[in-house]
Structure 1
Amino acid sequence: MNSMKRFISSLLAGCMIAALPNVTTVRAENETGAVEKEETVYIVTDASGKAGDVIVSEWLKNGEGRKEIKDVSFLENIENVSGEETFEKTGNDGLVWKSEGKDICYQGKTDKELPIAVSVTYQLDGQKITPEDLKGKSGHVKIRFDYENKTKTTVTVRGRKETAKMPFAVISGMQLPADHFRNVKVTNGKLISDGKNSFVIGMAFPDFMSALALRKGDELYGKLQEINIPDYIEVEADAENFDLGMVMSMATSDISSLLQNKNIDASFSADMKKLTDSTDELVSGTKQLKDGTSALKDGSKELYDGTAALKNGTSDLKNGLGEINEGSKTLKDGTGTLAAGAHALKDGTGELQAGVTKAADGISQLKDGSDALKDGTATLKNGAAELSNGSESVHTGAAQLSAGTGELKEKTAQLSDGAGTLSAGADSLAAGVEKLSGGISQVDDGLAQVQSGAGEFSKKLDSGMDQLSGGISDAESGAKTISSGLSDAYAGAETIAAKLPEIAAGAGALQQSISDNAASLAGAVSADAQDISSAKSQIASAESSVSTLVSEGVLTEDQASAILSALNDANSSLEHASAVNANASEKVSGALNGFASAAGQLKGGADQLASGASNLKEGIGSLQSGMSALSSGLGTLSAGASEMKKSAGEGLSQLTDGISQVKNGTSSLKDENTGIGLLKNGTKQLQDGTKQMAEGTKQLAAGAGSLDDGAKQLEAGTNSLNEGAKSLSAGASRLDDGAGSLQSGLNELHSNTGKLTAGVQSLSDGAKQLADGADALDNGAASLKAGIGKAYTGADTLNTGADALNTGAGKLHEGIGTLDDGMLKLMNGMEQFKTEGINRLSEILGDEMDEVIDRLNSLAGGESAYTNFGGASADEKTSTKFIFKMEF
């Protein structure tokens, strides 16, 4: 009974072995001490099961620790795969391994026929199909694995020799992805699914009836057929885009290890009733065991929940200690920084004490500088006020000058008009002189006619006298006109001559005044610029001193800010005043330069006018002398003509005398030095003088215009100067006020330097105490950090252990759940085993059970077992299995 149970359990264990992902041989200690040879044959097949390469792996287990192992192998291309040990060949197939007490693992190849053949066939929708054509197709697929047992041996059953096959068990397994295969079913196997893949495991015993030495027609053969011992595996599924992965099969002939006992109890049939009774008890026991596993499942759930709570607690503890650990690190860093800072503060207070002493000296110097700055700003304030007053006066004078130049411009225009009139009169005078000269020529011609025609004198005397009288009258009229024009011209020349010295003197005085004012203004502007520059230098020095006092800790930031703000306001005022001063200086300088140029032109025109007027007076004088001589000659001529007319009858002698007198008169008139020539020269000088005077008046008018424009520019420049002077005065007042505030602040600062020194001393003492305390705090923080670090490490270890405990409890719960499910299946299985197994076996075999036992014992005999494929020595204990790897 027990042997049968073990046989069934062993078959189930074989199915579980086939489910492993690979069949790599694992070493184990050989407890018997003898050399054992465990053999694994690897066969690579195609998709139809046809064998290709055959690789044999041999494991020599050196249980006794032999230095040499004697072996027999039919393999070729032998290679040690586990070490560097070597071998020597002895005979055809003998090997001697230099094992040195170690196991030996080696591989080799062979073309020897395999004892088991695998054949795989395929159907798609009920029609046979080759694997090559099936790939990628969709439909209902069947895959059938058939196995052929090619062995043959002789066994003894109940004293009789019978021909039988060596028994083999074959297990095949494959993986079917869910995205390619659905509705999977298996015949003679088990199906396991994880949702993503289906795993198929089947088991077959090819030609098992032949292994029991049974033939068709035997009564026992028919009864065993009812038990349905499988000799094939079939898988069917609905496939989509068919593609099959790797398929593995394992075949073994070690039935004796499955049975675990070579002598099954011969009284097995007698124990069938006991087996039936015991099965009832076993079913009852499995029910009780199921109740226990259910209770165990509930307890494991409580255990899992408790370990989860423990895990969460240790995790919180670890996290909390982690934060504390990080905090202790930060604290240690902070205390280190604090200690370093405290020592730096301690050292710095010493330097501060020395700095305060220097600062006290600097404050004294700054105080002296502020006093000097206050004096300078007061001086600057007074100077700016004076500049403002002076610029106001200059502006007033410039306005008056502008008004005077405007009036001068108007007068010079009138003068220019008068000069034009005078020039026109001089031209008329010249025309009259020419006319007079023509009349004298006519008189002279008339006298010639009188003289040449004395015979006709009497006849023509009246006519000649009339002509002479008319010429004399015309000459007298012209002389009167000329005398009148000369009187007017002389009066105008006198007026111009009288005014020109005043104009020239005024132009010279104006030029001198402009020059003097320019120098004065330039000096004032230069002095203001120097005062502004000096004040800015003093402000810059004060700002530098304030910055030094702040860096040395003498002044606070607020105090320094207030002082610097006042200094900045003062400096801004000075900057504005400097800009205004420079602008005004530039404008005033340009205006004064224009004035100087215009005044020079005015003076030059006045000089030319004076020279022309003098020449004009001389010409008029000459004309007046000539006109006097002309008037006298005309009187004589008129008297002679009258006398001649009255004395015509007295004779030619008197006529001749009269003609002589007339000729003398005309000769005087025609004389270039006394008569008409002197008159012509005078009129020529008069014309030249009037032209010079006209040109001079034009220059005088141009100069007056330039002078007027310059006066307007001067007025505008002095206005800007006046505004700038006012801004400068206001800025100087603010600067003086800021300097006063600075002086007051520095006086207060100077008076408190003693308190500052005492405070620095107290700070130094406190800094020393702080440094000592910071060192102690840093040492304590270091100890705290080390302790928390150890606590955190322990909490981490505890958390890891709790996590592992929780994981283990979870697995335990899952395992117990699986156990509980298994117990349910076991309970149901035991019911099924009792009903379909034991009861059915008892019904089928009945009295033939003893014969079955005998045949099973014959299978356990050594002569029927297939224990070696690649060769073995007589003293080696051997076992073998075959692994088929099918590649689709």
Structure 2
Amino acid sequence: MTKTGYKILSGCLCAALICTITGASVHAENGALHAPQDTKAASAAAEERASKEETVYVIAGADGKQQSVIVSDWLKNPNKETSLQDVSDLTDIENVKGDETWTANGTSLTWDAQGNDIYYQGKSETELPVTMNISYQLDGKDIAPAELAGKSGKVTIRFDYENHCTTTVTVDGKEETLYVPFAALTGMLLDNERFTNIEVTNGRVVNDGSHTVVVGIAFPGLQDDLNIERDTLELPDYVEVSADVTDFALDTTLTLATNSVFSALQDSDFETVDDLKASFAKLTDAMQQLLDGSSELYEGLETLLEKSQTLVDGVGTLNNGAAALKTGAGSLNAGAAELATGMQTLNGGLSTLSGQSAALNAGAQQVFQSLLAAATTQINAAGLSIPQLTIGNYAEVLNGALASLDQTAVYEQAYQTALAKVTAAVNAQEATIRAAVTAAVQQNVTEQVTAAVREQVTAKVLAAMGLTPETYAAGIADGTISEEQQAQIEAAINAQMASDDVQALISQQVAAQMASADIAALIDQQTAAQIQTLIDQNMNSPEVQDQITAALEQASSGAASISALKSQLDGYYQFYAGLQAYTGGVDSAAAGAAKLQNGAASLQNGASSLYAGASRLADGTATLSSGASALIDGVTALRDGAMQLSDGLKQLNEEGFQKLVDAMDGDVEPLLERARALAGISGDYQTYSGLDAAMDGSVKFIYRTEAIG
């Protein structure tokens, strides 16, 4: 089979891939080949089977190397069963959308479904079926991604994909090992202020003025699966992007790997090849007739020009040329009809592709919503309460969260929280504090009252001895009162102070003062002052200060995490917006194809008119017997035009139609056998983490790389 024929088949496979991917949901064992089931009963039975839809999220570095794998599983429960049997080798399994529980026996899980669908996720270290390696060059030299940040020059980014998933099947009577067919679709969003002159190998570039969306596609392992020599046709297993870059920075890239392309082909019988061959055979005959007609037209006109001086002898030649023109115009008319039919098919294909735009946008939206849901869960689990993040509110909510984690605000909140706790604890001891303060005040009042009463008792004792406090003090000073007399006087005073009457008097006066408003106010004042002193001491304690410092450090760490998360979500939002621009371009292309179909119809009408005109020309050549001189001029112009027509048709045949026709000269049956086998093994690959025998499954892989710069 020739290179052109392989290109036609690979083009069909690419179209099938796009249609399949755009129709796929974005949620997140080997066996015998499946025979197609066409009965309504089989379809109904399949619809009632529980199924498992699995999305594998691969978190990768900027070099494409795997860092972690998170698997999201959706167990669909169409019959509202109370229990679902599942198989999974995941670790850290978590129900992410409900409170249904499960029990495990090895890798076998039994979910208490309660009639609901089950959504859960977990981690895996199982080898991926497809791995990715990303390499970078700056001005033709290899460079590490971390070193590329901020650099300027000619940058080349190459995504190489390697298929590790194989199985042994029988193809055309022989045992062969084939790769499970995966298609890898990689997308990135480039800032036009940084990236110019952007080119992509095995992909497409869509520019919206401020950003450029780059989407590339590859089929790792398909070259070997289809047994196609690379010099005949090279099926892409890599995507390469090059651009002139200023101050290099690159947001995250996303890659979708899926085997759903060939899985969707299981029900195809590939019986349309004979019809395609027949169409090409008709095209070959029509094109050859058109070439013969144009050549004969030119030769006839050349003869007519040379023999125009002998008009009578040349009329026969002219009639022959006119007849050839009529024949060629008939072939052109038939070829134009074939072209119109082909354009109708092209228009139908683009219309179908355009019809999938909404599904592709919906899939990207669902991925975005899944990322936002995971982000909401993570932030709330970290202790910061936020509402559910959506595409419309995530930026505002995360900016608000960052504002709440400002160091000044966090310090004030942490301080007030600690102050409230310390104040409550100290106030709880108010009764004890007040009792201690009251005791201290009462002791002071007692001392003051006792001192005042002692002065009164002293005066009475001295008066009984004919002394006053003043004469007593003077006598002590001049020595007229001896120490013995002083001791006697002091003993008399102490005896009076110890008497019941004096002690009762002291107690009465102390009680009276303690009951006064002034003393009560003093006790309140000193109690409040003591409480405040204890609050201040506790707030300045190392324990409380450490708590405030820990809150500040936790807020700083949380702010950094949320800032990084917002940056990643902003990057995906740019990709999401770019994807919408891309699907808008597809829709425009479909509209253009419709106009092109109308043009082909007009061409067909023109060719029909040309054929009718050539017929009239053949009928009217007899009238050329008059006006030989005018005929010579006219024939000269007609000859030049015929030469251009002949040359143009030859080029069209050699460079266009003939290559297309030659593509069908080979034997395509071996290729179709392999395609059938690939469809079967692709249909058998339904899970990454495990699948119960009673379930249908589907799986897709989403790789997200870290940003650079």
Give yes or no for TM over 0.5: no
TM normalised by structure 2 equals 0.45
TM normalised by structure 1 equals 0.36
| Structure with more of its chain in helix, by fraction | 1
Q: Which has the larger radius of gyration?
A: 1
